[in-house]
Amino acid sequence: MIAGEGMGSKMVELANLPDHDLLVQIATRLAPIETSIIKIEEHQATTNGQIAKLNLEHARTAGSLATLSSLMRYTLAGIGAGAAVATVVLAIVARGI
């Protein structure tokens, strides 16, 4: 079969039908397409819901990482300050001996 030959013959068949039969044929052929579109829309809604959940989880993860980062900064700053105080105390004690 030559590409497009089947479609051309179907178009000729449809062109020769009376208006009512033509509309029936068109409606019959559109029904599966409509069903497919409905399924695609349902799948899209499901996918959108999943994406929304992923976005929420991403935001939570980003917030947790920001909190962890701040805690690490404060911890390191505290360790640095403690080391500085310990050095001063050690210097005072060493001079006193």
User: Alpha-carbon distance 36 to 62, whole Å?
Assistant: 38
Q: Are 39 and 47 in contact (CB under 8 A)?
A: no
* Residue ranges of domains in the chain: 14-96
- pLDDT tens digits along 39-79: 999 999 999 999 999 999 999 999 999 999 999 999 999 99
Reported in sequence order, the residue ranges of the chain that DSSP labels E, i.e. its strands, are none
pTM above 0.75, yes or no: no
pLDDT for the residue numbered 85? 93
Over the Cα atoms of the chain, what is R_g? 37
Q: Does 96 or 82 have the greater pLDDT score?
A: 82
- pLDDT tens digits along 1-36: 344 456 667 767 767 778 778 788 888 889 999 999
Q: Are 16 and 25 in contact (CB under 8 A)?
A: no
